[in-house]
């Protein structure tokens, strides 16, 4: 698999819920979700002996479908970083939900939530992202046998859906965790701006690569040598922490929030908006917008006004903007903030208070969430 393909896969990071998308009807039944989060036991399933429909990849005994999460370059994420990404995704919610208690477990049999990475192809979320379930779809217990050896199948070959058995599935790549620390909006935006620059021959017309000044020319991933982007190496992948936070958010709140506009619009010139890259609706930013492939690449570890609004509307106990965890934010060169106030954290991140891309001066000042320590 070439570099271009890797990049394209991670460009569009979207996900599905195990439920047809429909208008949100309040109140969603959250009784099952409230029971589940009061004693959440999370097993993370990945290994390096994956079996796919094309046969064993590296066969060493009875391989399972679960696979090792990869970064954009095809390298493996170290186990401590996989754990950090998943834990941080959970801690973000726990920081504002006083009723949420969770622990990571080492044995699947103890879990009531399984998080499984794999080379998913048929589960409906195409090439990147993940699939979760809605708050009224928590099963009484998790069952990891669904999809154990083959996607969407029981071991005996009958069909099943992982998301009907308390399994959140995540694509195998292209993730970053430690290498997403300090990766900011401006840096990401400059990379994407290069990718979509209408002055460069990244567009196709009549089968030939050319610039995008002619509105009839369409952006083409095969015309774009992504590795030539000045920012290519510094952006290692989609940040696993906020993407898992988003997936778990489906199990708390249901479907996506309505997205007021998109940063990326392929038919627009320029395709990438500088002024509307932060989608802020009437209730403020939320991590539950459908992915447009951009905002999970930057400084998005947080809980925001729109998230708190929805959680409260559904009937959860919510402490926001007060955090039940100490939030640690840092930046390259030594800037530092410890706070228990999500709005103070957002001010330090800068972008949640503005729609547009950070200026160079702002980018020097912005802080990044690197640790969430729950109160004892």
| Residues lying near Zn ion in the complex (CB under 5 A) | 15
Q: Which residue is nearest to Zn ion (CB)?
A: 15
Long-range contacts of 103-107 (CB under 8 A, 24+ apart): 103/40, 103/41, 103/42, 104/42, 104/43, 104/44, 105/41, 105/42, 105/43, 106/43, 107/43
Q: Which is nearer to Zn ion, 19 or 347 (CB)?
A: 19
Question: What are the C-alpha distances in Å from 333 to residues 111, 116, 180, 182, 366?
Answer: 40, 36, 16, 11, 12
What is the distance of C-alpha 190 from the center of its chain? 20
The two tokens of residue 306 are: 């729109």
Q: Which is nearer to Zn ion, 65 or 133 (CB)?
A: 133
Report in angstroms how near the CB of residue 244 gets to Zn ion at its nearest: 11
Report in angstroms how near the CB of residue 290 gets to Zn ion at its nearest: 6
Q: Which is nearer to Zn ion, 151 or 255 (CB)?
A: 255
Q: Which is nearer to Zn ion, 15 or 67 (CB)?
A: 15
Q: Which is nearer to Zn ion, 14 or 73 (CB)?
A: 14
The two tokens of residue 56 are: 């064993």
Report in angstroms how near the CB of residue 358 gets to Zn ion at its nearest: 25
Torsion, Cα 224 225 226 232, to 10 degrees, reads: -150
Report in angstroms how near the CB of residue 258 gets to Zn ion at its nearest: 13
Q: Which is nearer to Zn ion, 102 or 244 (CB)?
A: 244
Rounded to whole angstroms, the Cα distance separating 257 from 101 reads 25
For residues 255 and 21, the answer to whether their CB atoms sit within 8 Å is yes
The two tokens of residue 131 are: 């699939």
Q: Which is nearer to Zn ion, 128 or 367 (CB)?
A: 128
For residues 274 and 357, the answer to whether their CB atoms sit within 8 Å is yes
Report in angstroms how near the CB of residue 249 gets to Zn ion at its nearest: 8
What is the distance of C-alpha 8 from the center of its chain? 16
Q: Which residues have CB under 8 Å from 293's CB, separation 6+?
A: 10, 11, 12, 13, 14, 128, 264
Q: Which is nearer to Zn ion, 184 or 254 (CB)?
A: 254
Report in angstroms how near the CB of residue 304 gets to Zn ion at its nearest: 15
284 SS3 class? strand
Q: Which is nearer to Zn ion, 251 or 346 (CB)?
A: 251
Report in angstroms how near the CB of residue 301 gets to Zn ion at its nearest: 17
118 SS3 class? strand
Q: Which residues have CB under 8 Å from 329's CB, separation 6+?
A: 335, 336, 337, 338, 339, 345, 348, 349, 367, 368, 369, 370
Report in angstroms how near the CB of residue 246 gets to Zn ion at its nearest: 6
Report in angstroms how near the CB of residue 89 gets to Zn ion at its nearest: 13
Rounded to whole angstroms, the Cα distance separating 184 from 332 reads 11
């Amino acid at each position: 698999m070439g570099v271009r393909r890797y990049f394209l896969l991670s460009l569009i990071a979207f996900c599905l819920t195990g439920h047809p998308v429909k208008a949100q009807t309040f109140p969603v039944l959250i009784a099952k979700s409230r029971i589940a989060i009061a004693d959440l036991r999370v097993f993370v399933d990945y290994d390096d002996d994956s079996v796919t429909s094309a046969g064993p990849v590296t066969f060493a005994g009875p391989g399972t479908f679960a696979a090792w999460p990869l970064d954009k370059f095809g390298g493996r994420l170290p186990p401590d970083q996989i754990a950090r990404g998943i834990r941080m995704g959970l801690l973000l919610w726990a920081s504002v939900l006083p009723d949420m208690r969770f622990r990571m477990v080492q044995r699947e049999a103890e879990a009531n939530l399984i998080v499984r990475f794999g080379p998913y192809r048929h589960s409906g979320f195409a090439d990147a992202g993940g699939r979760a379930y809605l708050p009224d779809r928590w099963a009484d217990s998790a069952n990891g046998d669904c999809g154990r050896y083959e996607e969407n199948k029981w071991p005996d070959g009958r069909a099943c859906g992982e998301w009907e058995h308390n399994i959140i599935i995540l694509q195998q790549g292209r993730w970053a965790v430690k290498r997403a620390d300090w990766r900011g909006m401006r840096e990401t935006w400059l990379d994407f701006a290069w990718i979509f620059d209408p002055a460069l021959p990244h567009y196709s017309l009549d089968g030939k690569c050319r610039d995008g000044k002619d509105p009839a020319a369409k952006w083409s991933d095969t015309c774009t040598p992504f590795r030539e982007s000045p920012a290519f190496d510094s952006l290692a992948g989609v940040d696993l922490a906020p993407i898992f936070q988003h997936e778990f958010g489906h199990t708390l709140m249901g479907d996506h929030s309505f997205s007021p506009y998109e940063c990326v619009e392929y038919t627009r010139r320029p395709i990438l908006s500088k002024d509307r890259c932060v989608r802020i609706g009437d209730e403020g930013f939320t991590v539950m917008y459908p992915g447009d492939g951009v905002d999970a690449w930057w400084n998005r570890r947080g809980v925001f006004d729109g998230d708190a609004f929805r959680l409260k509307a559904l009937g959860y106990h919510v402490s926001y903007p007060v955090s039940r965890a100490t939030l640690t934010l840092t930046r390259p060169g030594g800037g530092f903030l410890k706070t228990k106030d999500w709005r103070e954290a957002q001010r330090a991140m800068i972008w949640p208070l503005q729609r547009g891309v950070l200026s160079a001066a702002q980018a020097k000042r912005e802080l990044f969430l690197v640790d969430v320590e729950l109160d004892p």
